[in-house]
Amino acid sequence: MPYFDAASAAPLHPVAREALLASLDEGWADPVRLYREGRRARMLLDAAREAAAEAVGCRPDELVFTPSGTQAVHSGMSGALAARRRVGRGLVHSAVEHSAVLHAAEVHTAAGGTVTQVGVDRTGRVAAGEFAAALRADTALACLQSANHEVGTEQPVEEVAAHCQEAGVPLLVDAAQSLAWGPVPGAWSLLTASAHKWGGPPGVGLLAVRKGTRFAPQGPADERESGRAPGFGNLPGIVAAAAALRALRAEAAGGADEAARLRELVGRIRTRVPELVGEVEVVGDPVRRLPHLVTFSCLYVDGEVLLQELDRAGFSVSSGSSCTSSTLTPSHVLRAMGVLSEGNVRVSLPYGTDEADVERFLQVLPGVVRSVREQLGVPVEKPEKPAAAGEETGLVVDALGRRCPIPVIELAKVIGRVPVGGTVTVLSDDEAARQDIPAWCAMREQEYVGEQDAERGAAYVVRRRV
Amino acid sequence: MPYFDAASAAPLHPVAREALLASLDEGWADPVRLYREGRRARMLLDAAREAAAEAVGCRPDELVFTPSGTQAVHSGMSGALAARRRVGRGLVHSAVEHSAVLHAAEVHTAAGGTVTQVGVDRTGRVAAGEFAAALRADTALACLQSANHEVGTEQPVEEVAAHCQEAGVPLLVDAAQSLAWGPVPGAWSLLTASAHKWGGPPGVGLLAVRKGTRFAPQGPADERESGRAPGFGNLPGIVAAAAALRALRAEAAGGADEAARLRELVGRIRTRVPELVGEVEVVGDPVRRLPHLVTFSCLYVDGEVLLQELDRAGFSVSSGSSCTSSTLTPSHVLRAMGVLSEGNVRVSLPYGTDEADVERFLQVLPGVVRSVREQLGVPVEKPEKPAAAGEETGLVVDALGRRCPIPVIELAKVIGRVPVGGTVTVLSDDEAARQDIPAWCAMREQEYVGEQDAERGAAYVVRRRV
């Protein structure tokens, strides 16, 4: 059964499994103790730290293990911000960071700090110059992911790191999605990652703080992991995580170019899904991207139903559609990119994905999308009744109380009833409409006029162009 | 090779190992995802939560899993303190809590809160009435361990919980050392524990917050574990931890009274070590204690050397002596109890400890202690030169720059030179002397007069009584 959600969690690498088993026997004791079981645990911990540091490209004493990538981000940000409090309280990050960064930024704001978000283009990429321009004299910390977790777009980390260095601002790189594929280049100051994204077990993250970076750990003191990760460490998990990372690097060095193989498979999905399905927007940078991840959105499709149908067909994928989130808002990444969020599917291929599974996905997907669209009564391609001269030039569609993708479907149904130059106004209180109506206009080459206040929700005005 | 440091970390219970292996295959995916791997992970997580809640004696929705017992304490304390900030900023805890509580208390103090420590008697036990008297109108939270991690003494948790309930103050119970042996009785509000103390893997703690307890999680928001433990959970570890706890309870219910068996073995150590070794103080409550843990201190012994020699003889134990701590201060628990800290040994028997190993320990220990004492030139029992009338009645011993146990050894060497009623003044800059000189006096029935300021360190005055 093909599992295509490696960006959430990857199955355990076989080497990690072996290392975990071995360290359950050898690595359960407290590595700070001086007796033989403690010394053995200490040796395992030291070896794991060296392996991880080598894969990250830092010194072993610059790297600590945390209980998760999220906690690495939280600790890294709070420690760096606190250490530079006298410099200022400014925090700069891209608009498409992982929620771990956004949540830590909220805490910073609540404590009186200021946050500057740097926007992205339609591919989800920040412009290095724009990022540099956001750095100010009072900027204490900048955060930029190495690659986006939802759309796979790589960020210009090396260039941004150079700008940060010049400005004297430490840069924290969230490398959760990319570390499996190689170290992050450039003069970053802090780096975080999460083992269960690279085939390690859950329960292990890492935080690297390069020498010379001011750092003041926050929260209660603890002597373990240089005071940067409180509590008794998950040593068997750490050993397994380091073993998996070392194995990935060794396989790559040995000529097994899994990244290139997955890149080609993802390329097929990028090319063929629009051809096979129709009314699809493939998002993210087509070239500067993670090898294993692709996201596309299908017009007139309910994301949650699509995921359920794909699951029934045997495919496990993820989505950034509003209907798949607990808050009923679309993914902040897709919103920042200004792209369609409805019918959104993220495919992220685990290491070793079978090519035949990808082909089968491409066979199954069109039928699944068609059936979901049929259930929703999606309009036919051509307007049923071409608008004649003299017909009403303004139409109002009431989609209040109806959720994504219904407002867009209702718009598409009636656009043909107004003449070219006429407008359709969609009343909607669905958060996704704010994003998806403009995105639909861009895809269909209609003009998005704008949003107006309404008694309930908002009124979205569209002018027919074609 | 007998490992006698279960209070630091217990080897994995065989049931935990099996459960861990199974959940590596079944429980690696994200339990919030809706596809089959996610649903499977969710079922495992739900089952683990139910099992742990049953063992704790709370509802499943009152319990979350954290990455460690330490993080459970930190989160539990900060969440409870923040939720009752309007009531006041007072925190009450015993003087012998785990460092996780003390460190969280330091953060609370640094943020403007007040902390009241409740002292303990010579067995390490708080008096429930004294604890109750420390509760004030502005007390936001009280913390009391179920049993002490260094000396095994059980605290009157049920009684203290009743006092807290009456005062309307939530009580957080750190049950790290006792949960293996049974649920904590009484009307506590929050409870924390650590899986690797009960035979679960490292990387798992738990925090129970009973309904009706005000709680406001601190730090960055996160939707997992009711917002009380950020980051992707360590599901295989959680499943294994819950399985181990369930197995312990099932074994106890099935009549296998491991607690009684270990209690008897510990009883042997308590009785026979003073007989076999001499000049030993066994500390902690002899009856109201954990079944598996005993601590004793050997006069005129360097704790670090003792641990090394025991390790060489094949026994892994722990110590609260100053020379075994990174700060060169004795354990705060022994200090609060006012007992000897030098030559301190904590024996904590893991589940299933072989009786023969305990017997062998009792055979080996006397010779090991003797050889350590010989290396240090310990004074013979009787004063070499009985003091005669007219001899000088005051003597000063300069032990500056010399570490535990030397100042006490030097004192013992010269006490016979002064007449009964005369004094010996020990100059020492070793932190352990402040604790061990009075403790020595109590053991030897000499009078501890007090401490005086000195140019370097302090001057400890002892009056000869016998």
A171 and A134 in a single domain? The answer is: yes
Contact B201 A11 (CB under 8 A): no
Contact A37 B71 (CB under 8 A): no
Q: What is the pLDDT of residue B26?
A: 87
Kindly report the CATH number assigned to the domain that includes residue B432: 3.30.110.40
Q: Prior bond to B2 cis, omega within 30?
A: no
Q: What is the pLDDT of residue B14?
A: 92
A180 and A262 in a single domain? The answer is: no
Q: What is the largest CA-CA distance in chain A?
A: 92
A195 and A58 in a single domain? The answer is: yes
Contact B234 A67 (CB under 8 A): yes
Q: What is the pLDDT of residue A380?
A: 61
A119 and A185 in a single domain? The answer is: yes
Joined together, the tokens standing for residue A266 give 């993802």
How far apart are alpha carbons B94 and B73 in whole angstroms?
Answer: 14
Q: Is the pLDDT of residue A91 over 80?
A: yes
Which band of pLDDT confidence, cut at 50, 70 and 90, is reported for residue A384? low
Mean pLDDT for B198-227 is: 95
User: Residue B387 domain-assigned?
Assistant: no
Which band of pLDDT confidence, cut at 50, 70 and 90, is reported for residue B381? low
Q: What is the pLDDT of residue B393?
A: 79
Which residues of chain A make contact with B8, given a CB cutoff of 8 A? 29-30, 33
Contact A67 B70 (CB under 8 A): no
Reported as a single tens digit per residue, the pLDDT across A231-279 is 999 999 999 999 999 999 999 888 889 999 999 999 999 999 999 999 9
User: Residue B388 domain-assigned?
Assistant: no
Mean pLDDT for B402-407 is: 93
Nearest chain A Cα to B21, which residue? Answer: A21
User: Residue B183 domain-assigned?
Assistant: yes
User: Degrees (nearest 5) of the Cα angle A91, A285, A311?
Assistant: 100
B216 and B296 in a single domain? The answer is: no
Q: Is the pLDDT of residue B387 over 90?
A: no
Considering CB atoms only, which of B104, B205, B232 is closest to A220?
B104
Name the domain count of chain A.
3
User: Residue A299 domain-assigned?
Assistant: yes
How many contacts, defined by CB atoms under 8 Å, are there between A and B? Answer: 197
Q: Is the pLDDT of residue B452 over 90?
A: yes
Reported as a single tens digit per residue, the pLDDT across A272-305 is 999 999 999 999 999 999 999 999 999 999 999 9
Which band of pLDDT confidence, cut at 50, 70 and 90, is reported for residue B267? very high
Which residues of chain A make contact with B107, given a CB cutoff of 8 A? 219-220
Pairing of strands A458-463, A423-428: antiparallel
Contact A12 B35 (CB under 8 A): no
Contact A205 B21 (CB under 8 A): no
Which residues of chain B make contact with A315, given a CB cutoff of 8 A? 35
A346 and A403 in a single domain? The answer is: no
Q: What is the pLDDT of residue A383?
A: 53
CA distances from A257 to A12, A249, A254, A440 (A): 19, 10, 8, 38
- The angle that helices B36-56 and B235-253 make with each other, rounded to 10 degrees, is 40
Q: What are the residues facing B238 on neighbouring strands?
A: none
Considering CB atoms only, which of B201, B205, B221 is closest to A103?
B221
Q: What is the pLDDT of residue B127?
A: 98
Mean pLDDT for A174-183 is: 96
Q: How many other C-beta atoms lie within 10 A of the C-beta of residue A442?
A: 15
Kindly report the CATH number assigned to the domain that includes residue B270: 3.90.1150.10
Q: What is the pLDDT of residue B357?
A: 98
Kindly report the CATH number assigned to the domain that includes residue A209: 3.40.640.10
Contact B311 A34 (CB under 8 A): yes
How far apart are alpha carbons A12 and B439 in whole angstroms?
Answer: 54
Question: Does ipTM come in above 0.90?
Answer: yes
Which band of pLDDT confidence, cut at 50, 70 and 90, is reported for residue B255? confident
User: Residue A148 domain-assigned?
Assistant: yes
Considering CB atoms only, which of A9, A12, A24 is closest to B232?
A9
Round the average pLDDT of chain B to a whole number and report it.
94
B31 and B95 in a single domain? The answer is: yes
Q: Is the pLDDT of residue A415 over 90?
A: yes
Q: What is the pLDDT of residue A171?
A: 98
* Range B117-132 burial, b when 16+ CB lie within 10 A, else e: bbebeebbbbebeebb
Query: Lowest mean pLDDT: which of A46-60, A200-214, B388-402, B425-439?
Result: B388-402
Reported as a single tens digit per residue, the pLDDT across B334-369 is 999 999 999 999 999 999 999 999 999 999 999 999
Which residues of chain B make contact with A99, given a CB cutoff of 8 A? 222
Contact B74 A24 (CB under 8 A): no
**Most confident segment among A23-32, A342-351, A384-393:** A342-351
Min CA distance, B60 vs chain A (Å)?
Answer: 21
Q: What is the pLDDT of residue A382?
A: 56
Reported as a single tens digit per residue, the pLDDT across B42-75 is 999 999 999 999 999 999 999 999 999 999 999 9
Q: Is the pLDDT of residue B87 over 90?
A: yes
Min CA distance, A75 vs chain B (Å)?
Answer: 10
User: Residue B165 domain-assigned?
Assistant: yes
Min CA distance, A458 vs chain B (Å)?
Answer: 29
Q: What is the pLDDT of residue A310?
A: 97
Q: Is the pLDDT of residue A391 over 70?
A: no
CB of B133 within 8 A of CB of B314?
no
Q: Is the pLDDT of residue B173 over 70?
A: yes
How far apart are alpha carbons B71 and B91 in whole angstroms?
Answer: 18
Contact A196 B232 (CB under 8 A): yes
Min CA distance, B205 vs chain A (Å)?
Answer: 10
**Hey, CA dihedral for B352, B355, B361, B362, is it positive or negative?**
positive
Q: Give the mutation candidate from A17, A21, A33, A368 for the B interface (greatest B CB count, under 10 A).
A: A33
Q: What is the pLDDT of residue B239?
A: 97
Q: Which domain holds residue B320?
A: 258-375
B182 and B297 in a single domain? The answer is: no
Q: What is the pLDDT of residue A1?
A: 78
Q: Of the residues B219, B252, B285, which one is the last residue of a structural domain? A: B252
Round the average pLDDT of chain A to a whole number and report it.
94
Active site residues of B: 323
Q: Of the residues A375, A405, A440, which one is the last residue of a structural domain? A: A375
A240 and A314 in a single domain? The answer is: no
Q: Is the pLDDT of residue B392 over 70?
A: no
A340 and A403 in a single domain? The answer is: no
Percentage of chain A modeled with pLDDT above 90:
89
Mean pLDDT for A207-227 is: 94
User: Residue A383 domain-assigned?
Assistant: no
Considering CB atoms only, which of B9, B30, B310 is closest to A29?
B9
Considering CB atoms only, which of A74, A221, A236 is closest to B202?
A236
Reported as a single tens digit per residue, the pLDDT across B121-164 is 999 999 999 999 999 999 999 999 999 999 999 999 999 999 99
User: Residue A140 domain-assigned?
Assistant: yes
Which band of pLDDT confidence, cut at 50, 70 and 90, is reported for residue B386? low
Q: Which long-range contacts (CB under 8 A, 24 or more apart) does A322-327 make?
A: A322/A403, A322/A404, A322/A430, A322/A431, A322/A432, A323/A403, A323/A404, A323/A432, A324/B34, A326/B223
Considering CB atoms only, which of A104, A223, A232 is closest to B326?
A223
Q: Is the pLDDT of residue A388 over 80?
A: no
Mean pLDDT for A396-412 is: 94
Which band of pLDDT confidence, cut at 50, 70 and 90, is reported for residue B423? very high
Catalytic residue among A58, A164, A323, A404: A323
Min CA distance, A52 vs chain B (Å)?
Answer: 19
Contact A11 B28 (CB under 8 A): yes
Q: Is the pLDDT of residue B384 over 60?
A: no
Q: What is the pLDDT of residue A386?
A: 57
Q: What is the pLDDT of residue B256?
A: 81
Contact A233 B203 (CB under 8 A): yes
Nearest chain A Cα to B196, which residue? Answer: A28
A361 and A419 in a single domain? The answer is: no
Nearest chain A Cα to B195, which residue? Answer: A232
Task: Report DSSP letters for B270-317, one per residue.
Answer: HHHHHHHHSSEEEES-SSSB-SSEEEEEETT--HHHHHHHHHHTT-B-
Joined together, the tokens standing for residue A44 give 């395992």
A404 tagged catalytic = no
Which band of pLDDT confidence, cut at 50, 70 and 90, is reported for residue A325? confident
Q: Of the residues A237, A252, A267, which one is the last residue of a structural domain? A: A252
A274 and A355 in a single domain? The answer is: yes
